[in-house]
Amino acid sequence: MIDMRDLRLDDARALLEHDPTCRLPEPEESPTVYMQSVVDNLCELSLKDPLTGLANRRHFRNVLAREIDAVARSGDSALLLMMDIDHFKKVNDNYGHLAGDRVLQAIANCLASCVRPMDTVARYGGEEFAAILPNCPASYGKIVAERIRETVGNLSISVSPLLSIQVTLSIGGAYAPEWVRSTTALWSDRADIQLYRAKTEGRNRVCIEQQREIAVSAEEKSMLFGHLSMGDPAWLECASSDASDGAAGSAMNKVN
């Protein structure tokens, strides 16, 4: 058995004391339960952005990879949204970095309220946010993204006792290819391209890549799941859609 007095837990406890959601049991009651609680809370803390409380980039990339795998297996639609605050540098320059932090926190809360519990929203870096929407049909994705944009645009954010400001959001989105084993980098790059398009076309707008239509026969689905059950990827996304003359679709190549 480990003697609790031999463990150096001061730094771990100091980190957890700053998290209002963390509640540690008394170590005297049960050292095992106490240590398990410390480990669990540190794991939870490592997945969060400290300023906004949203998922951090590390956690988001893991969720993105799992969703790619799920789409490859099920063929369900999944939408990735990349979102960037317009002219955020002006907020910091004009009102100070504390005001900028308040804007980030307000938008983070707003984004979390605009999506379903099954969706994952993250602070991707700086003033950029991202969201994964599983089981999101093409007809629904643009509606959700526009609702997010409009809700953020209508938000009045208090940056000081006498001053409230409004900001806007540019949003780019891309769907994961159905029945395709893609990569997080390819999916993110496609959403980033749409975000850049929204920025260059005037900001405060939504640009979503048209969902790719991929026809997969029952035999191909059987082959797909058969390969996945053995642990091998059945399909890889093509880097280019130029070599697409075959009848099976332009975004897939079979892997031997």
Longest dimension (CA), the chain: 70
Which of 61, 70, 75 has its CA nearest to residue 211? 75
Q: Is residue 86 a contact partner of residue 169, using CB atoms and an 8 Å limit?
A: yes
Task: Note every long-range contact of 191-194, with CB atoms under 8 Å and residues 24 or more positions apart, other chains counting.
Answer: 191/80, 191/81, 191/82, 191/130, 192/82, 194/82
- Give the active site residue among 29, 67, 127, 150: 127
Instruction: Produce one character per residue of 53-88: b if its CB has 16 or more CB atoms within 10 Å, e if not.
Output: bbbbeebbbebbeebbeebbeeeebbbbbbbbbbeb
> Which residues are CB-contacts of 55 (< 8 A; sequence separation ≥ 6)?
47, 48, 49, 63, 120, 121, 122, 123
Catalytic annotation present for 178: no
Cα end-to-end span (Å), the chain: 51
- Just list the catalytic residues: 127
